[in-house]
Amino acid sequence: MLAEELPAQPGASASEPAQRVGPGAYPRPGLAPVSWREHYYPDVADAEWSDWKWQFRNRITTLAALDRFFPLSAETVTSLGAVLHEFRLGIPPYYLSLIDPHDPHDPLRLQAVPSIEEFLDLNVGHEDPLGEESHSPVPGIVHRYPDRCLLIATNNCALYCRYCTRKRIMEEDVAPAARHAFDGMIDYIARTPQIRDVIISGGDPLTWSTARLVELLDRLDAIPHLEIIRIGTRVPVTLPQRITPELCAALERYSALWINTHFNHPREVTREAAAACAQLQRAGIPMNNQSVLLRGVNDDPVTMRALVHALMRIRVRPYYLYQCDLVRGSDHLRTTVARGLEIIESLRGHTSGLAIPTYVVDAPGGGGKVPLQPQYLADYSQGRATLRNYQGRVFHYDDPGA
């Protein structure tokens, strides 16, 4: 069921996205059924549940903990043990509550819960599919484009997405990098005047304390030629409790700060996620969304249209739709480029242009983002363009003087 079709929750206005609270009611002999949260976390008060630090501390990080929610056979435990040796597991209780444990093909489960398919794909793909290490002039910096660079701030995330392109760094110690580790990154940006735009990513930089994040932002903000700072984060989706008034008040100080977030499915656009985005927007921070095209998650026109419409309702602009990278262990989640083009074509003309993301393949080996669009230019010769519109109708446009 898509977000647009979900019944409104009690007290919700028609403009609020509906929230899927969990997989349903859990029966109790002789007593009224309870919700998912009451069943699995009966002693957790609302204040704790709404505390991002509690959510982060209580992430599901082991197979033993996962078995409580998704019973695992001995054979599965053996296979998934090999997967977790390569790439961490981490699911906050909040995000876990959105997954239907009875549906092995639940689109949120496919993103968050390790699977046998991931084990079978362990030797398919690449450790560094985008060639980031070959474009790293100093540790922690990826400088592929002339005027912007990526600053990898952390290898910690609230939720470890099973298709993560940086699995290679997630194998390391979870402790934050020492402050002096950022000296080389800041120095490189400061002595490279063509860099006007920095994307802080990881891992997820919003898993840091507010004070630590502000310290990094202050150092970047002090570089005269730096015009734009962007934060790449999935926290509004997976740990919306992290978006606190304290954090928003701190981020509000930076005039050229943007946030790129990462919704992949309309069911992720919950009340909590919408409220987190609204807080950031009230602090004056514009928001874009970068989705990844994933098999069984969002690789059909109906789901993608529901997703972009849900994002527009919460004022988060659909920015990129990424073809899934050739990262090791994720082949079962990849779909075809032809399918991506089909989905983009299904949006064009059937929703507003503002809701249509740019479909890109991040070229393997470090070629950068290559935008792909359905072909609407049928012919161009002797000053005349032959055009096809979204309905398949043909039109001619003549150049000046043609």
Q: Which one of the listed residues 41, 145, 319, 376 is annotated catalytic?
A: 145
Is there a catalytic annotation at residue 157?
yes
Residues sharing a CB contact under 8 Å with residue 48, sequence separation 6 or more, in sequence order: 54
Q: Which one of the listed residues 149, 157, 248, 277 is annotated catalytic?
A: 157
* Residue closest to 272 by CA, chosen among 327, 314, 217: 314
pLDDT digits (tens, 9 = 90+) for 9-49: 333 333 333 333 455 677 777 777 889 999 999 999 999 99
Residues sharing a CB contact under 8 Å with residue 344, sequence separation 6 or more, in sequence order: 321, 356, 357, 359, 372, 373, 374
Residue that the structure tokens 């503002």 belong to: 354
Is there a catalytic annotation at residue 148?
yes
User: What global pTM score does this model have?
Assistant: 0.91
* Residue closest to 130 by CA, chosen among 387, 402, 328, 315: 328
Distance of alpha carbon 224 from alpha carbon 18, whole angstroms: 44
Does the pLDDT value for residue 4 go beyond 70?
A: no
Is there a catalytic annotation at residue 362?
yes
Residue that the structure tokens 């739709």 belong to: 321
pLDDT digits (tens, 9 = 90+) for 293-347: 999 999 999 999 999 999 999 999 999 999 999 999 999 999 999 999 999 999 9
Q: Which one of the listed residues 20, 59, 162, 166 is annotated catalytic?
A: 166
Q: Which one of the listed residues 148, 162, 167, 234 is annotated catalytic?
A: 148
Q: Is 95 helix (H, G, I), strand (E, B) or coil?
A: helix
Instruction: State the pLDDT confidence band at 401, using cuts at 50, 70 and 90.
Output: confident
**Average of per-residue pLDDT across 225-237:** 98
Is there a catalytic annotation at residue 325?
yes
Does the pLDDT value for residue 2 go beyond 60?
A: no
* Residue closest to 328 by CA, chosen among 202, 157, 168, 173: 168
Sign of CA dihedral 54, 59, 64, 69: positive
**pLDDT at 12 (0 to 100):** 36
Select the more confidently predicted residue: 21 or 108: 108
Could you count the other beta carbons within 10 Å of the beta carbon of residue 381? Answer: 7
Residues sharing a CB contact under 8 Å with residue 32, sequence separation 6 or more, in sequence order: none
Is there a catalytic annotation at residue 369?
yes
Class of domain 133-372: alpha beta
Q: Which one of the listed residues 106, 121, 204, 325 is annotated catalytic?
A: 325
- Where are the chain's structural domains? 3-120, 133-372, 376-402
> CA angle, corner 369, sides to 177 and 356, nearest 5?
110
**pLDDT at 13 (0 to 100):** 37
**pLDDT at 23 (0 to 100):** 59
Is there a catalytic annotation at residue 166?
yes
Is there a catalytic annotation at residue 317?
no
Q: Which one of the listed residues 20, 121, 161, 267 is annotated catalytic?
A: 161
